[in-house]
Amino acid sequence: MARAVRCARLVDVVGERVLTDQLVVIEGDRIVSTGPYTGFDGELRDLGDVTVAPGLIDLHTHLVGVAACGDYAQELKHSAARQAFASIPNARDTLLAGFTTVRDVGTFRAFVDVALRDAVDAGHVLGPRMAVAGAYVTVRGGGGMLTGFAHDVEVPKEFRFGETRSVDDIRERVREIVFHGADLIKLIATGAVLANGTVPGAPELTEAQMRAAVEEASWYGRYVAAHAHGAEGVKRAVCAGVRSIEHACFLDDEGAELMAAHGTYLSADIWWADWIRETGPSRGYDAEQLRKNDETAEAQREGFRRAVRAGVKIGFGTDAGGFPHGLQGRQLATMVEHGLTPIQALKAATLTSAECMGWDDRVGSLSPGRYADLIAVPGTLDITKFADVAFVMKGGEVVKNTLRGVS
């Protein structure tokens, strides 16, 4: 039986506008129609004086693993089973923050994210829809490894599943990761801010290696996302054909123009550097990590502004897990501060991110045929309110409602 939601204001991310007094008609878990309210003969939920938007999408989360802690050695102190159970509240908090879909782009212990995705899909765990990467594809000692240990300490194989050395090796790694259930491949193209001993701007994979990963993944209907801070690493990854660039802290004009020309998406976590500055020392982030965070933060925001000016496709990725899950919505205001309008920021976090995932036929807008994923904040459109959404519906089921007078 059809039921409907009445919305005083609705953000149309396709048309980049706010519509008034709209009705979203739902059957099962899908949207049947969206249009002006003229009455409805059936079950009607009137949300009152709110602004409604599609469920948000985060392209860059880490729901599995040690969260918001600078000491990655903690990863070795927990079993895979404990990590899986510990990821359950991360998934819940993410969904209740209004993120009905995420792309989970890697875990140090391989394939726990696959198990979490399957548990959510089966209804055993409350969480967002997930596309997962399974394991990082990285060089030995690179940005996707547990680093900082003595040279004679051997990290267990399950933490080195995506370790690679050659073009042929990378093809094998990609195939194995796909065979174990990953939806996409995550390459670590440069060093990382939080991986001790690595240099964020330094390339770690060659263009030939990344091209091999892209080609191999494509045979199995998968695509590649590339962690890349440095300008050279970004360019290599874009020329290799990756779907998205993650971070892009030192993106230059040439790289931005190259991304725009290739249609490469940008997923830049431009908010959480502030969180590290404020809380990092008390949460175990060491001097090297704090220094690299300071060195990359403003450069990344300038790169983001450069990408906006160049016409790069801007998605929404936060690196949630590096900070507590559920805070992702705070980044929307930061994106507006650095070049987007409020509606453009919401489009980045919905439709554009859905397109990046190849899921725009099912999520990312309130168009017919899509999942009935919608969120609401009180009053008129104010991007800061999306840091604490009041109403969340996933697949036609209400999972959060703190709106006054609305049952």
What digits encode the pLDDT tens for the residues 7-54?
999 999 999 999 999 999 999 999 999 999 999 999 999 999 999 999
Domain over 56-357 is classified CATH 3.30.70.3420: no
Calculate ∠ Cα 361-242-97, nearest 5°.
50
The residue ranges of every structural domain in the chain are 3-54+364-401, 56-357
* DSSP per position, 328-390: GGGHHHHHHHTT--HHHHHHIIIIIHHHHHT-TTTSSS--TTSB--EEEEESS--GGGGGS-S
Which of 1.10.10.10, 3.40.50.720, 3.40.50.10210, 2.30.40.10 would CATH assign to domain 3-54+364-401? 2.30.40.10
pLDDT interval class at 209 (50, 70, 90): very high
Distance CA 27, CA 25 (A): 7
Give the residue-averaged pLDDT of 76-105.
93
What digits encode the pLDDT tens for the residues 283-331?
888 888 889 888 999 999 999 999 999 999 999 999 999 899 999 999 9
Query: What mean pLDDT, rounded, does the chain reach?
Result: 93
- Tokens encoding 280: 């990092």
Crossing angle of helices 231-240 and 207-218, in 10° steps, is 40
Q: Return the pLDDT at 326.
A: 96
Can you tell me which residue has the tokens 């990756």?
Answer: 242
H-helix or E-strand spanning residue 261: helix 253-262
Q: Return the pLDDT at 68.
A: 58
What digits encode the pLDDT tens for the residues 53-78?
999 999 999 999 766 566 667 777 88
99 pLDDT above the threshold of 80: yes
What digits encode the pLDDT tens for the residues 137-194?
999 877 777 777 777 777 777 777 888 989 999 999 999 999 999 999 999 999 888 7
H-helix or E-strand spanning residue 265: strand 265-267
What digits encode the pLDDT tens for the residues 325-362?
999 999 999 999 999 999 999 999 999 999 999 999 99
